[in-house]
Structure formats: C-alpha cells, structure tokens
C-alpha cells in the first residue's frame, strides 16, 4: 500500500512540475527578448548601449554622392551614432568623415508598442535631438539633408542593469534601417 501511495505522490509532483507555466518573454504583451527572432522583420539588429559615451550603436543608413563641390564629387556615408546619456536619453549624432553636425539627425518617439513591427509610420511632430529611453516604446530616427533622407526604427527592449544594486546603466534595443 505504501508503494502505491509513494507512486501516486511522485506522479502528482511530476504533474505539478510539468504543468507549471514557462515565461514566453512577453510582459504585458510587449517583446522583452533582446535577441532577434523569426517574428522580427528582416534586417532587424539587436544591440546593447550603455550610458558611458564610449559605447554607442552605429546605424548605417546608406551612402550618397555630393556632386561638384570644391574637390569634385564626394561620397558620404549616412550614419547615425545612437548613444545613451547618463540620464538615459537616446541621442544621436551624424557620423560623416569625423564631422558631427547635429542638425541632420533627429529622433521622435511613437510611444508604447509591442515590438519593432508596430512602428509603421513616420511621426509628423515631436522631432528632437534626444528623447527619453523607455522600455516598450518605439522611436523613429531620421537623417535628412539636402542630398539624402534615411530612416531607422528602434524598439527599446529593456534596461541593462548593474550587477549587485540593479542600477540602470543602459538599454537593450532592436533597430532596423527602414523605408516607411
């Protein structure tokens, strides 16, 4: 009889362990997975950015040619360096031959989204040089000058926290060079 009770108890424990739900990396329906998955659009890249100025994500939007300047035609790289400031604001600077004019690059928040695929249009307002980085929010980056216009969409996945005291030291993002 004790053998039957023992087997029944072991079956009950096994059943309880097997029926425990597992995390699906979703929190309130939003994507909390900091890696690129098959559900992300083609060309999506996952990246971590820490708040120290030494770490940034370089987003290559393309190249363009400026015809007929003083030295002839010149090819420029349309790149954005996406940084996190100490206050955890996303900010960018253009990277073209080591010159960093800030006026060609802006960012706008699209608010809460569940994943990068939900960023579907370019905001009409709210463009700035920086904005707060909030997990679960989407952003559109715009590089625009008289020769080139390019976009990227960014989804802030989660915070990067410091071991020990869980202090926030950066963000995990997904981004995609994008043609709206």
Q: How confident is the model at residue 112 (pLDDT cuts 50, 70, 90)?
A: very high
The yes-or-no verdict on residue 52 having pLDDT over 70 is no
Burial (CB count within 10 angstroms: exposed 0-12, middle 13-18, buried 19+), residue 175: buried
Residue 109 pLDDT:
92
Q: How confident is the model at residue 17 (pLDDT cuts 50, 70, 90)?
A: very low
Averaged pLDDT, 117-130: 92
Averaged pLDDT, 133-148: 88
Report the 10 Å Cβ neighbour count for 127.
15
Gap between the Cα atoms of 127 and 123, Å rounded: 8
Instruction: Give whole-number Cα distances, 86 to 36, 53, 169, in Å.
Output: 26, 9, 8
Among 7, 46, 73, 4, which Cα is nearest to 171's? Answer: 46
Instruction: Provide the 8-state DSSP code for 40.
Output: S
The yes-or-no verdict on residue 14 having pLDDT over 60 is no
């Amino acid at each position: 009889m004790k053998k039957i009770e023992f087997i029944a108890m072991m079956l009950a424990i096994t059943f309880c362990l097997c029926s425990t739900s597992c995390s699906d990396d979703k929190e309130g329906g939003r994507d909390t997975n900091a890696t690129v998955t098959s559900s992300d659009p083609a060309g999506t890249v996952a990246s971590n950015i820490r708040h120290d100025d030494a770490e940034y994500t370089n987003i290559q939007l393309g190249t363009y040619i400026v015809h007929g300047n003083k030295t002839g035609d010149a090819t420029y790289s349309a790149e954005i360096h996406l940084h996190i400031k100490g206050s955890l604001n996303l900010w960018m600077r253009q990277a073209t031959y080591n010159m960093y004019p800030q006026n060609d690059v802006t960012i706008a928040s699209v608010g809460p989204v569940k994943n990068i695929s939900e960023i579907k249009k370019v905001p009409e307002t709210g463009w700035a040089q920086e904005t707060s980085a909030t997990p679960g929010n989407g952003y559109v980056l715009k590089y625009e000058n008289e020769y080139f216009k390019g976009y990227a969409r960014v989804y802030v996945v989660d915070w990067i926290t410091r071991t020990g005291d869980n202090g926030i030291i950066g963000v995990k993002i997904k981004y995609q060079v994008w043609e709206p």
